[in-house]
Structure 1
Amino acid sequence: MRVAIYPGTFDPITNGHMDVIKRARKLFDKVLVAVALSEEKRPLFDIQTRVQMVKVAIADMDGVDVEPFDGLLVNFSKLKDIRVMIRGLRAVSDFEFELQMGYANASLWNEIETVYLMPSLKNAFISSSVVRSIAKYGGDVGHLVPEIIQPYIKSRFTCM
């Protein structure tokens, strides 16, 4: 069975993330969405809420699971016996950072491979930080996130 892990903070999950998950699922039998605790990023949503948002967003997708993790992704990948990591690339600016992270992960475990996937053009500009910024000022994020998670976002921003 071909299995890949797709790590991220998912604060919140976006249509761009969903696009990458769907693309990864075409290539792999199973995709594990690994939600990072990432306290140093000071996420808007706690880990339980972020995991729940991903769960509801992927509920109708066969072969996709979600789990939280803390610590080094390589250690979590080893624990799960997953040797392929998916990373999304939106723009050239993402590439340098992602390439560096891919090399760093490979230096920690030479059996890990990183596969870079691009979202479709319509989702290429979407990031969780863009969603949070728009929502903070009462903007409509309906076209940026799965419809089913919009209530989570609205609950965090009273001006919406």
Structure 2
Amino acid sequence: MKTALFPGSFDPVTKAHVDILKRSLDLFDKVYVGIGVNSTKQGLLTVGQREEMLRAVFANEPKVHVIAYEGLTVNFCKSIGAGYMIRGIRTVSDFEYEKAIAQMNHALEPEIESIFIVSKPGYSSISSSIVREIIRYNGDVTQFMPKEAIPYL
């Protein structure tokens, strides 16, 4: 069974996240959406809210399992039996950043492969950071987020 992890903060989930995940589903038997918990960062949404939001967004995707984790992502991959890590690439700078992380992860756990999926052009400018900023100033984020996630804001 091919199992992958799609890690991130998902604070909040965006249409870009959904696109990357849905495009990866044909490649794997099971995909975990892993909410990385960083206890030193104050997020917009609690980890519990993000879990509920992601479960609502992917309710009709039986291959998708949502779970929060803390610690090194490669260690979490091993604990759930994931041999692959999915990462979305929006820009050249994303690629450089993700490449460095993938190389470090490979040094730590050579059997876990990083899979890069390039964002569709219409989603390349959408990031959780930008969406959070729009929310903070009472802007309308409905065009950037899946409709199932809006009630969690």
State the TM-score bracket (shorter-chain normalisation).
over 0.9
Deviation at 1:148, TM superposition (A): 1.4
Give the stretch that moved more between structures: 102-111 or 36-45.
36-45
The amino acid across from 2:120 in the alignment is S
> Partner of 1:141 in structure 2?
141
> Partner of 2:52 in structure 1?
52
The amino acid across from 2:146 in the alignment is P
> Partner of 1:91 in structure 2?
91
Deviation at 1:124, TM superposition (A): 1.4
> Partner of 2:38 in structure 1?
38
Q: Deviations over 1:46-100 (max 9, x none)?
A: 1111111111111111211111100011111111111100000011110111001
* 1:12 to 2:12 alignment: yes
Mapped partners of 2:130, 2:26: distance in 1: 27
Mapped partners of 1:119, 1:21: distance in 2: 11
Deviation at 1:40, TM superposition (A): 3.2
Aligned runs of 1:49-128 on 2, under 5 Å?
A: 49-128=49-128
In the alignment, structure 2 segments of 5+ residues that lack a partner are none
The amino acid across from 2:46 in the alignment is D
Mapped partners of 1:27, 1:81: distance in 2: 16
Identity among equivalent pairs (%): 40
Mapped partners of 2:150, 2:125: distance in 1: 19
Deviation at 1:119, TM superposition (A): 2.2
Deviation at 1:152, TM superposition (A): 1.6
TM-score, length-scaled by structure 2 = 0.95
In the alignment, structure 1 segments of 5+ residues that lack a partner are 154-160
TM-score, length-scaled by structure 1 = 0.91
Work out the number of aligned pairs and report it: 153
User: Could you tell me whether the CA contact under 8 Å between 2:2 and 2:83 is conserved in 1?
Assistant: no
Find the residue that maps to 1:39 and give its secondary structure: coil
Find the residue that maps to 1:134 and give its secondary structure: helix
Deviation at 1:118, TM superposition (A): 1.6
Find the residue that maps to 2:67 and give its secondary structure: strand
Give the stretch that moved more between structures: 39-48 or 8-17.
39-48
Mapped partners of 1:40, 1:118: distance in 2: 30
- When the two chains are superposed, the root-mean-square deviation of aligned CA atoms in Å is 1.1
Mapped partners of 1:15, 1:38: distance in 2: 23
